[in-house]
Amino acid sequence: MSDGIFPERFADLAVFAAKWDKPGTSERYAERLASTFVELQAFHDAFLPKIADIRSYLDSKDFTEYSDADRALGRVTFAWVSAAEAVEVFKQARVPDSKMYWETVAEPLL
């Protein structure tokens, strides 16, 4: 296990944690809206080649066995999904002609 922000094999992506490691969907979406397209593109381009490896790594263990670094990686990857939509689909942070915003409530952990 790594002492870093992310597991050792993804340490190069940890530069995105300070901005994107948010606890919920609403916070991650707000960060997307507050970002420039250049920031979104850089985040997208850094994670895209590693997404399959991240998924494989996180799926290889039970969620109850996740380290803090694993959880941080998962949260930032969830943020990447929102950023990827902005980059790949809308070509901007906001959904065109929309006031779309998600409000979510997290279920308690068992």
The answer to whether residue 56 sits within a structural domain is yes
Quote the domain boundaries for residue 84. Answer: 8-90
Average pLDDT over residues 2-8: 82
Q: What is the pLDDT of residues 21-55, one digit of tens each?
A: 999 999 999 999 999 999 999 999 999 999 999 99
- Look at the chain and report how many structural domains it folds into: 1
The answer to whether residue 19 sits within a structural domain is yes
CA–CA gap between residue 17 and residue 92 (Å, rounded): 21
**Angle, in degrees to the nearest 10, between helices 51-59 and 68-85:** 140
CA–CA gap between residue 49 and residue 34 (Å, rounded): 24
The answer to whether residue 98 sits within a structural domain is no
The answer to whether residue 30 sits within a structural domain is yes
Q: Is the pTM of this model over 0.85?
A: no
The answer to whether residue 97 sits within a structural domain is no
Residue 86's φ and ψ, nearest 5 degrees, are -65, -45
pLDDT of amino acid 110:
64
Cβ pair 104, 24 in contact under 8 A: yes
Q: What is the pLDDT of residues 53-101, one digit of tens each?
A: 999 999 999 999 999 999 999 999 999 999 999 999 988 888 765 555 5
The answer to whether residue 110 sits within a structural domain is no
